[in-house]
Each structure stands twice: as structure tokens, then as C-alpha cells.
Structure 1
Amino acid sequence: MSIQVFGLPVSRGVAIGRAVLVASSRVDVAHYFIDPADAEREYERLRDARTEVSAELMALKQEVPEEAHAELVALLDVHLMMLQDPMLVESAQPWIATRHYNAEWALSAQLEVLTRQFDEMEDDYLRERKADVEQVGERLLKALTRGTGLSPGALANAGARDFAGEDPLVLVANDIAPADMLQFKRSVFTGFVTDVGGRTSHTAIVARSMDIPAVVGAREASRIVRQDDWVIIDGDAGILIVNPPPMVLEEYRFRQRQVELERARLSRLRHTPAVTLDGQTVELLANIELPRDASAALEAGAVGVGLFRSEFLFMNRAGRLPDEDEQFEAYRAVVLAMGGMPVTIRTVDVGADKPLDRASSQEPRHDHMLNPALGLRAIRWSLSEPDMFSEQLRAILRASAFGPVRILIPMVAHLSEVQSVKQWMDRAREEVTARGQAIGEVTLGAMVEVPAAVLILPSLLRTFDFVSIGTNDLIQYTLAIDRADEAVAHLYDPWHPAVLRLIAQTIAQANAMGKGVSVCGEMAGDPAFTELLLAMGLRSFSMHPAQISSIKQRVLRADARTLQLALPAVLDADQPQQACEAAMRTSSKSGAERLAVSSRTVLQ
């Protein structure tokens, strides 16, 4: 039977494939693809884990108190029986052999199949045995994790391998941590769906950076979908279709082909300079998470890196944070790859929906915070960890010897923070120079992410060389909503008049003071806002590499001067989106007339 599940569209396009289900109860085990030659070794790990758990249960039987002996021994015997049942370990083997799942993932997949079967049993007693299966499964998973030393939550990536001839795969999960999402950048997944999340949660942001279809906030998706179900992700409408009928499947395959043709057409623009119809040059930069992303930025035609999210160097490391030399090598690799184009490195921005591993003693304890989004995060955390902050600043300064570097400070809200940052920068510069290490061209900037930063912007710009507007958080803090919470996702509104006025005010003040200003949030990569941001005077956009071509197309077709004339009406409107669309139609007409005049002049 075909089922439709509705969620929030966060990354456009269509994905069709077999469902790979990561259930919420087992989302914290390692999931990665293995080399087919290692299949027997993974299966051996499963058997070893069964032996270990069997020994544990036998030992527990010997320790059961006399007064509770009969009941507990009977329960342990049931668990021992289940442990030896071929439906558990032996039936997980095909997941390893045919899908190339690691042992933990294979066992999780098989447990999901078994628990669904128990749910469908009519006999109440048999149905209740599902809990026993899950308990035995959890013991096996813990034994596997102990045996490998892998940290929970490591959705590791061995997926760069090409599984030619196999069905495409789609990931379905309750949620995916931002650090884990990074591992999918070179994986075989063609799309994903999560039960939770919002349009600008970091899971959604990484999906857009990967340019793969995604739907979040789909509520019960991970409970409805079964392992290996055929599914369609409609990233435009925010729909997940489970077991689609043949006619629907063919329609979506046609749409897939159309999307691929459009992407191929846009890719031809990658080496075309971004200049508006009235001659305004626009800087299109790339947002990246890891050093290897620099190649994608260059391939997309970026003229620099507008945001290097350095916190992703600190994630998935079981608490072992990168030292100065390791960071230096990562930053230098990006600077060298960009070949003289500017690289903007944001200092560590952890907190809220981007926690570090629990093993890290330096991690902010979000579980003790009433509201992590308002807690110890971003520059607040860095200043509370001066040794870590100093290491990062020294590493960035050393990398600047190999090309122009911009240092970006996240979530600045207080002038006292500005002074502290300045002092740590001066100290880091002195320490690097004292070692005899070179420092190149470095500029210092602040992220505008809270309304307070907009209101004190002139004071900030007396210290900083540039500002970068993080629209995702600016919207969140202006409208007082958690952008990762699907319960209030409908209130997240980038078209809200207050948001637009704050952005326009920031751009105007920075331009008036002769300081650089860019937008590095999701609005920069959304074609619906390109003309509006141009009208506000923005000439530097930073976005995920996959979005550059579509934004460049809008820039090439825009008449910035005509758009600027309509800006006051848009900012004063109660419904800015409708006013902006009307202004765009006028601009398009003006641009067409200009092209027609130019063509006639050439022909004459």
C-alpha cells in the first residue's frame, strides 16, 4: 500500500531509492559502509559479540538473588534463547554481505525488521516479547561498540565507494546530528528524511550543501517506513511517498531527469563573472565545512570562501580536540587550494544544535541548560576556553602566510566581547611572531546574528574590518523561535518586516562606513532573495557551492538600480514578499528593454 508522509521541504529535487532506516532507539551506533572484502570479518564481530553477551547473561544467572530466583532466571533464559535464534545474528549477515553495512548497522537493521514483525502479532503475549528482543539487541550493540572502540554517534563515511549496479539508497531517521550529516557528503545516499527538524536546522543546511533532496519534520516517517521500502522524496513539496505505484514512480523519474538537465545548464555559468545588467560586480563566495570542500567551491565558480565552519574540525573526535598544528594544516590546505582568493574562517561556533562529543570535558553541557540557544555558545564558549581559543587564533594567523585570510567571530553581542577578542588576537599575533613564524594578510570581522549587534553596529565597525550577516540565527533571535524545532517552524519567516529592516540597516551602515559586508546565511543561497539583497546594496553573497550557479543566474538577469528604487516600498510593506515580487517583475521588464536596446544598437 502506498503512503504519503508530509514534512518540511528543505532541499529541492527528487530522490528515489530503497529506504535505509536508522531507528531513533539505535541512532547512536556507528553506521558506515564496509569494503566487500571485509564482510566476513564484520560477521565474525557479530558472532564474537553474541559469545560475549551469552557469557554475560550466564554470569548474571549465577548472581540472581535467591528470593527472586525463579522469575529472573526464567527471563535470562528467554534472553539466552533469543540470542541464539538464527533470526537475530544469522539473519543480519545478508545486510553485511549484500548492502555492505558494518556489523552495528546490520544488526540495527535486522532488529528493526524483527520488532516490526512483533508489532503485527495478534497474540498479546507474543507481541510483548518485542521488549525482550530489543533488550538483547541493545546488549549486542553495546558489545560491538566496546569491541571496536568506536564512539556512539559516528555515522562514519566509507561511502565514497561506488556501489555500481545496486539500488540507490535513501536515509530515513528520527534525526541526524550535524556532525554525522557531514559524513554523507561523499556517501551513497541520494536523499534523506527525518522525523524532526526545521528549515534552517543544521541538518537541513548540510542537505542543501550536498545538493540532495531532503524533507525534515516528517514526524512518524521512521516508524512508518520499513527497511528496503521503495520511497520517493519530493524535496520541492516536502512529501515522502512510501511504496509508490508504478505511474507515480515514472512521473517522478521524469522529474528527476528534468532537474538533472537544469543543473547541467546552470553549470555552464560557473566561469561567467557575476555582473548585473547595470554593471554591478557581485562577489559569490562559498560556505564550506571541511578542507576537502574547497575543491567543490572552485568547481562551482566561487571567488573565495565566505564561511569556513571550523567547528566541524572539532566534531566526531571522541573528545580529542584538534591541536594548533592540526588546525593549522587544515586551514593552510584551504588557503592554498583557493590560490590567492580570500578565505573567511569562522572561529568555533558550538552550542545549541551543534554540540561536541560528550567525551570532551570542554564541551558546554547543553543537557543542563534550560535553553541552549541562549546559553554558552559561539564566541561566549571560546572566551570561556582561552587555551583552545588561543590555539585556534594562532593556527589561523599562521595559515595567513599562504594567502589572504579573514577571521570571523560568531554571535557578537557585547562590546566587552569585542575588547576581549581584540586582546586575544593581539596576544596570539605576538606569540606567533615571537616564534619566528610568518603572518600574512589578516582582517577581522564579526557575525551579525542577534538584533543587539545591529543596534550597536557603528561601535562594532570601529574595531572590525567587515561584518557577515548570519540570517539563520538573526531570524531566530529576532522572532524568538528555535529554528530547529518543527513545532514552531511555521513561525520562522525570513520575509518578516523586522528581519528585512535589520538586514537592510546592517548593509546600509556597513557600506556608509566603507566596511565590507556579506550575507552568509541561507538567504544568500535562496534565489527568492537575490534581487532584494542586491537592492539593499549587498555585493557579497556566501552560500553552499551547489547554490552558486542558480544565484549567479539571478544576478546576471538583475538590474540593481531599478531594484533599489523599489526598496523603500518593500521595506515599508506589511507583506514584503508580495511587494518584492511586484518590484522584480518591473525590474525584469526594464532589463528586457535594456537588452532589446543593446541588441538593436549592435545590429545597426
Structure 2
Amino acid sequence: MTFALHGIPVSKGIAIGKAVLISRAAIEVSHHLIDSGKEEAEAKKLLDAFDQVRLELDQLRQGLPKDAPPEMAAFLDVHGMILADPALAEKPIKLIRTQRLNAAWALTTELNDLLEQFAEIEDSYLKERANDIRQVAERVIKTLNAQQDSLTPSDFLPTSDIGVESIIVAHDIAPHDMLRFKEHAFTGFITDLGGKTSHTAIVARSMEIPAVVGVRHASEMIRHGDWLVLDGERGVVVVAPDEQLLAEYRELQTQILKEARKLQQLKHAKTETADRVEIELFANIELPEDAIQAVKLGAVGVGLFRSEFLFMDRKQALPDEEKQYQEYRRVVDLMHGLPVNIRTIDVGADKALGGGRDISQTGTSPLGLRAIRWSLTEPEVFLTQLRAILRASAHGQARIMIPMLAHAKEIDETLRLIEKAKQQLHQRGKAFNPNIQVGAMIEIPAAALVLPLFINRFDFLSIGTNDLIQYTLAIDRADHAVAHLYDPLHPAILNLLANIIDQAKRANVPVAVCGEMAGDSALTRLLLALGLTDFSMHFNQLLLVKREVLSANVGLLRARVPRVLRAYEPEEQAKALERLLS
């Protein structure tokens, strides 16, 4: 029987093939008390399992093929760091010694506690990092249980099906397993869990393989060997499609492949509209290695480097100045003189960072202590990051970008600390760019409404549409009950964007959009109509947006935008947008 499942599209394209079902393999942990006197032997058993898994990951890291996505090495490094952190084993060993729990039971107890803490996190990117800890712990438990952890096509499909295009279906996929799957050229990925920043999403995009994540219960409803159609454009998975539907999707698949080949021809084309308006396309990156692909696809710089990945390890101490400097410099070097906007750490509400440091006691609200608000409560941590960014600026166009500013006193205190960081480096004789550019993210309605405050104090602005939409419409994007109300085309949003862009342009202050709107090619013409000339997006969206730019006529679009901005009734707005985008 044919039926469809829906999820989150994270990597575009069409995949057709048989389901390779990898069950979650919920680990059966034996719960028993060890005999008195055998506590140390059990503790050694746990530590030996950690060592064995660390060795396996080291071997995987060293054996990475040259064409492996750069994100793969970074993920393996993160897992290696988690394994190397003695704090992860401290509580289980204490449970072994004091309560005589067996090793697997003790580790599972700690894992459950950690996952409960991560479940309270609001920030979707950091929340998904709980998968890192879970995957590492499960790998250790598998080792303790002496379970086989080798995955090859013959384990999944009958011999007669080897060579048939196959689509992975799993509850979740660890990065080290993604590497194995890459070796066997699977054509798509479907997972029960995940979001746009999950491992599967990031690696699938870097491999340019269609993927749909967050397809609830997919691994339970899809049977091993079922024929599937994975529509990475709409986030749809069709199970057991009939011949007519298969034929239609195969034709669509052929068209998409042709379009993809055409897109590659645009890499070196000058980015300007049909009426010769020059547009700049920047890349958003989360890992330093992302810069390699950004340059290959023609990005003119990094519009947003999320520095949070350096601070994600909840067990280890916060990264020191030298560690941060080396990572920031690596991005600057990889961009070969192009600008790199390094956003200072943006963490939210009740999160704990390195060493279990509590960030806030204000609860889990996205309106709590986060981003610059938190940084200003931790001036030494903030100064350490500022010094690291400043040192990286000696090697290229590193720039500082501050998130979630709203008040004049926040701006003034931030700028004061930047000057203090400069003085500290000067006293130490460290090189840096004394004229480093400092920018602000406009992502709070209050900031948009008092924009002159920002224009007078900053070198550039970047509109974070994800949060601007969330806060303007009073919608918690992490709350599924209201997520459907998240609307980038709401008249209030469009008028805010138009006003921000217009004021910045008139003041001759560079302004970009770095939220998801910038990478949505369906909205490119609208943003051009609003006057935007600087876009920042995930690097794999660059060519799609560039194609829209090349065929657009900004003069015509600008003439049609007033009608859109005056439209408040849904029907009236829909007609105005249709006329604008036609």
C-alpha cells in the first residue's frame, strides 16, 4: 500500500531506492550489582571500553578518504574530545564504587541525566549536540556488551539487491556511521530525529545527498526493502510508490540533475542582476572546514561564523584564548583574505557550558539570559573571546559581530570591553588589527525600531531573521504547538526588513541578512525588491540564490514593492507578492 510520510527537508534532490533499515538498536543494558571487592575491576572495565572506542575513532579519523566531507573529521574530533574528557566517566565510576552498579548500568544512568539536561535547552543547534554525547555513550556501551558494530550493505539487503540504489532509514545516525555509508554510495537518508543542524543534515548537505529528517516513526513504519521515493525539496517520503508515481519522480529526478549541472556553471559568473546591480553572497558556517566549500562555491566572505561550537563541551573547561585564536585564524586563512564575521558566543537561557558553568537561573525561556546578555555577565570569558578574535584579525579580515543587542548601555559596555581587549593585547605585545570592524546583529524588534542607535555606533549590520521573526511574532520556534505560525512573509516582518535596509543604505552602513530567509531562493527576489544587496546563507544554497539574482531586475522589483508593504490582508498581500515575483 502506498503512503506518504512528512519531515524536515535538509538536503534537496530526489532519491529513489530500497529502504536499508537500521533500527535504533536500543541497547539492552544488564542491570545488576557487582560483588563486593570487584568495584575496581568493574571500573577498569569501563575505562578500557572508553580506551577501545577512542582507538576506533582515532583509526577512523586517520583513515578518512581525501574526498570525505570536512565536517566528518570535525565530528570525529568532537567525539574524541568527549571520550578524552575524564569527567564523562567520573560519575559512572563513582556509582560503581559506591553503589556497586555494573559498568553499563552506571554509564546509562549518567547518560540519561545528561540527556534530560539537554532536553531543557531552547537553542536547537546546541540541543541537537546531545546526540554527540548519546552516540559516544552508546558506542562505549556496545563495546561493554561486546556487540558487533560493523555495517555493510550485505548486512541490510539480500544478495540479489546489492547494487540497487538504497536509502538509509534510521532513528538517528552517528557521524562515524555516516562515513561507512558514504563508502557504499547510499543515495538518501531518512531519520526519525534531527533538525536542520543535525549531523545527518550537515553531512548530507556537504555530500549533496537528498535527506529528510524529523520523520517521526519512519524507522517503525518503513519495512526493510520497501521501495521509497525521498523528496528532499518538500520533505516527503513516499513508501511503496506505484509505477506511475515512480515514473513521474524519475523524470523529476532527471530534471533536477540537469539543473544541478547547470548551476555549477554559475560558480565563476559575476553576481549581478539583469540590470547590473552588484550583489554579494556570503556563507554561514558552523565549522572552520566549511570555509573550504564556501570559497569553492564563490562566496565573497563568511557572513556568519557561529563560534558556539567551541563552547559546546559541557564537561571540559571553556576553551582558552589560544585554542579560540587557532580556530578563528584557521577560518581566516581558509578564506584567503576575504572577510570573516565571527559572531561572539550566542548561547541561551539555562544552558551549562564547560565545567558545568551555569549560565542562567531564569528558566528555559528564549527571552532569558543569552548571547551578549550572558557575555556581559561573564566579562573575563567575553574578553578572552574578544582577544582571540582580535589576534586572528592580524592574519586577514576577521570582524567582530555581536548578537542580540537592544539597549544603548549594552552597546556601550560591549564597545568598552573591545577596547579593553585591545589594550590587553597591546600590553602583551600581540599583533591585531586596531581598526577591526565591529558589527551588530539586528534580531530584536526593539533594535529595529531604534536603528539610528546602531547605525551611529557600528561599522556594519546583519539582520538575523530567524530570531527577528520569532520575537516579533511572539513565537517560540522550538514549541511545535505554535511553530506553524512562524511566517517570514507576515506584513510586520516585511515592513521591519524594508525599514532596516532602507535606513542602513541611506546612512551608507553595510547591511546583510544572515537568517534562513537569505538562503531561501523563493524569497531572493523579494529581498532584492526590499533593497538588500548582501546575502549570507549556508554555502550549498549559494548557487540557487545566485541563479535568482542573475535573472532579476531590481528596478522593476523595487517599483512593485510598495504595494506589497501596504498589503495587510492575506488575500491582498498574496496578490501583491504574486505580481512582484512573477
Rounded to whole Å, the distance in 2 between the matches of 1:24 and 1:152 is 13
Q: CA RMSD in A?
A: 4.0
The answer on whether the counterparts of 1:11 and 1:204 sit within 8 Å (CA) in structure 2 is: no
Rounded to whole Å, the distance in 2 between the matches of 1:207 and 1:237 is 19
Structure 1 letter corresponding to 2:7: G
Structure 1 letter corresponding to 2:521: P
How far apart are residue 15 of structure 1 and its match? 3.4
Rounded to whole Å, the distance in 1 between the matches of 2:507 and 2:247 is 56
Compared CA separation, residues 321 and 226, structure 1 to 2 (3 A): farther
The answer on whether the counterparts of 2:169 and 2:219 sit within 8 Å (CA) in structure 1 is: no
Rounded to whole Å, the distance in 1 between the matches of 2:200 and 2:527 is 22
The answer on whether the counterparts of 1:207 and 1:213 sit within 8 Å (CA) in structure 2 is: no
Structure 2 letter corresponding to 1:57: H
Rounded to whole Å, the distance in 2 between the matches of 1:442 and 1:187 is 44
Q: What is the aligned partner in structure 2 of residue 428 from structure 1?
A: 421
Alpha-carbon displacement from aligned partner over 1:194-235 (angstroms, at most 9, x marks no partner) = 55778x777898589545534455443344345776543222
Q: What is the aligned partner in structure 2 of residue 268 from structure 1?
A: 265
Compared CA separation, residues 427 and 499, structure 1 to 2 (3 A): same
Q: What is the aligned partner in structure 2 of residue 498 from structure 1?
A: 492
Compared CA separation, residues 491 and 516, structure 1 to 2 (3 A): same
SS of structure 1 residue aligned to 2:430: coil
Query: Does 1:407 find its partner at 2:389?
Result: no
The equivalent position to 2:447 in structure 1, one of 453, 462, 467, is 453
Structure 1 letter corresponding to 2:168: V
Q: What is the aligned partner in structure 1 of residue 468 from structure 2?
A: 474
Q: What is the aligned partner in structure 1 of residue 373 from structure 2?
A: 380
SS of structure 1 residue aligned to 2:366: helix
Structure 2 letter corresponding to 1:382: S
Task: Give the unaligned 5+ runs of structure 1.
Answer: 27-49, 63-134, 586-604
Rounded to whole Å, the distance in 2 between the matches of 1:186 and 1:468 is 39
The equivalent position to 2:108 in structure 1, one of 142, 145, 149, is 142
The answer on whether the counterparts of 1:154 and 1:316 sit within 8 Å (CA) in structure 2 is: no
Query: Does 1:563 find its partner at 2:557?
Result: yes
How far apart are residue 423 of structure 1 and its match? 1.5
Query: Does 1:57 find its partner at 2:52?
Result: no
Rounded to whole Å, the distance in 2 between the matches of 1:183 and 1:287 is 26
Q: What is the aligned partner in structure 2 of residue 232 from structure 1?
A: 229
Structure 2 letter corresponding to 1:345: I
Matches within 5 A, 1:43-442: 57=32, 59=34, 139=105, 142=108, 151-154=133-136, 168-170=166-168, 172-173=170-171, 188=182, 191-193=188-190, 195=192, 206=202, 210=206, 211-216=208-213, 218-225=215-222, 231-244=228-241, 248-249=245-246, 251-316=248-313, 318-351=315-348, 360-364=355-359, 370-440=363-433, 441-442=435-436
Compared CA separation, residues 192 and 578, structure 1 to 2 (3 A): farther
The answer on whether the counterparts of 2:175 and 2:200 sit within 8 Å (CA) in structure 1 is: no
Alpha-carbon displacement from aligned partner over 1:434-483 (angstroms, at most 9, x marks no partner) = 11111125111111111111011111221111110111111111111122
Rounded to whole Å, the distance in 1 between the matches of 2:106 and 2:167 is 26
Alpha-carbon displacement from aligned partner over 1:288-324 (angstroms, at most 9, x marks no partner) = 1111111100111111111111112222574343221
Compared CA separation, residues 136 and 223, structure 1 to 2 (3 A): farther
Rounded to whole Å, the distance in 2 between the matches of 1:461 and 1:58 is 65
Compared CA separation, residues 57 and 208, structure 1 to 2 (3 A): closer
Compared CA separation, residues 183 and 394, structure 1 to 2 (3 A): farther
How far apart are residue 141 of structure 1 and its match? 7.3
SS of structure 2 residue aligned to 1:285: strand
SS of structure 1 residue aligned to 2:356: coil
Rounded to whole Å, the distance in 2 between the matches of 1:185 and 1:500 is 42
- Alignment: residue pair count: 473
The answer on whether the counterparts of 2:107 and 2:137 sit within 8 Å (CA) in structure 1 is: no
Task: Give the unaligned 5+ runs of structure 2.
Answer: 38-100, 113-131, 140-150, 154-161
Matches within 5 A, 1:481-560: 481-560=475-554
Compared CA separation, residues 378 and 183, structure 1 to 2 (3 A): farther
Structure 1 letter corresponding to 2:554: A
- Structure number with greater Rg is 1
Question: Which TM-score applies when normalising by structure 2?
Answer: 0.71
Q: What is the aligned partner in structure 2 of residue 125 from structure 1?
A: none
Structure 1 letter corresponding to 2:108: K
Rounded to whole Å, the distance in 2 between the matches of 1:395 and 1:425 is 11
SS of structure 2 residue aligned to 1:487: coil
